[in-house]
Structure 1
Amino acid sequence: MIIHPPEPATATGHVAAMYDGDLAEDGMVFAHTRAMAMNPDAHAAFEALIHAIVPSIGVRVYEAATLGAARAIGSAHCLLAHGRRSLRAGVVDEAGLAAFADGDDAAFTASEQAVIRFATRLSTDPAAMTDADTQELRDAGFTDRQIVDIALAAAARNHFSRALLSLAVPVESVPGLDPALGAALTRAASSPTGDR
């Protein structure tokens, strides 16, 4: 990574809060956090967007949209981080997450699978999407507000993941995630859904 983010020892304000969050949870500051610390106002705005999205769709649907987009994009950073978050939130178990890494979404509910498909299409060929894509979410029981927030969740993941990929931010192991599962998620990122 060519950019030179602020060092933890000199961080102040929102950057210090970003670093402190990583240190408190994992005892280290992730490279992706350091990269985003270059523009703390943008990071704060991203967090505000996520906080505006999640209440209407809930954590399970948010994580389904996030994982679907991250797999489609080929983002190991986000597959690892949100894989662990999904495990901790009870969205999916380790076996289900390993299957997801191999392209099998059966561990998710039918409505969550619809969200994953929508996030995948948004992340691979958004210009080809039609009302039929939205109708699938409506048929799965989502309201207009939830449909918009699912689209925003997947689009937000594209924003974050693609920024990290474009800056060649190193991918690091995520503490607390089984190494074999981490390897499976990393392999999934090297063969994004759009390439399968």
Structure 2
Amino acid sequence: MSYLGTPDESPLYEAERSARGYVPNYLRVLALRPEVYEAWLRLGEAVREGMDLRRYELVTLTAARRLGSSYCGLAHAAVLLERFYDDAELRSIVADHRDAGLAPTDVAVMDFADRVAADPTGVTERDVAVLREHGLDDTDILQVVLAVCLRRFFSGVLSAVGAVPDPVFDSLPAGVRAVLEGTGEASPPGA
């Protein structure tokens, strides 16, 4: 599950067992610091509330891919599959979002998210101008940055402690899993 020893029981687990039917591996790790997990939940909720959920999930998937976080990539691919796309559409997005039939605004947002995830210090005024050209205002752009940087934090934590994706993600389409787990042929966006 992780490089760290995690508690067998925690007050955090019961709600997850009730809601999901299992305790996610990330929660087992964060049970070592429940107050950090609670703060993470509040911050994540504040960021998500500021943007369309589909856009948030596309941005998060892009960031997770760039960061090499199979756990986060699989988790957010599962949300996209459950709520927004069918198997073929999701496979296409994961393989190459630029050639997946997405709206030009979605492609621009995902390209920007990839750039922020890869190197936030390399983002330029021109990168922001491209999003403005697609109709995003400054609040929308900040929301994308917040979502990516939120993912940089969480993916970094999970990767650094060796948290493995939960078996529930085995039900995702094999092609999607292969790409997000790093065993498929598609390279990260922008590569």
TM-score tier by shorter-chain length is 0.7 to 0.9
- 1:104–1:80 CA distance, 2 compared to 1 (3 A): same
1:183 aligns with 2:183: no
Partner of 1:5: 6
Partner of 2:92: 99
User: Given the alignment, which residue of 157, 161, 164 partners 2:151?
Assistant: 157
Percent identity (aligned): 28
Q: Is the 8 A contact 2:170 2:177 kept in 1?
A: no
Please list every run of 5 or more consecutive structure 2 residues that lacks an aligned counterpart in the other structure: none
Superposition deviation, residue 143 in structure 1: 1.8
- 1:188–1:62 CA distance, 2 compared to 1 (3 A): farther
The separation in 2 between residues aligned to 1:192 and 1:30, in whole angstroms, is 27
Q: What amino acid is the match of 1:185?
A: L
Partner of 1:20: 15
Give runs of aligned pairs for residues 1-196 of structure 1, distance below 5 A: 1-8=2-9, 11-12=10-11, 15-16=12-13, 19-21=14-16, 23-90=17-84, 92-105=85-98, 106-175=100-169, 177-180=171-174, 181-187=176-182, 193=188, 196=191
The Cα RMSD (Å) is: 2.4
Q: What TM-score do you get using the length of structure 1 for normalisation?
A: 0.84
- 1:61–1:179 CA distance, 2 compared to 1 (3 A): closer
The separation in 1 between residues aligned to 2:102 and 2:34, in whole angstroms, is 34
Name segments (4+ residues, structure 1) moved above 6 Å.
188-191
The separation in 1 between residues aligned to 2:183 and 2:147, in whole angstroms, is 20
Superposition deviation, residue 176 in structure 1: 7.4
Q: Which moved more, 1:182-191 or 1:168-177?
A: 182-191
Deviations along 1:148-174, one digit per CA (max 9) or x if unpaired, are 111000110010001111111123332
Superposition deviation, residue 67 in structure 1: 0.7
The separation in 2 between residues aligned to 1:146 and 1:187, in whole angstroms, is 30
The separation in 1 between residues aligned to 2:162 and 2:34, in whole angstroms, is 19
- 1:96–1:194 CA distance, 2 compared to 1 (3 A): closer
Superposition deviation, residue 102 in structure 1: 2.0
Q: Is the 8 A contact 2:75 2:169 kept in 1?
A: no
Q: Give the length in aligned residue pairs.
A: 188
Q: Which moved more, 1:154-163 or 1:110-119?
A: 110-119
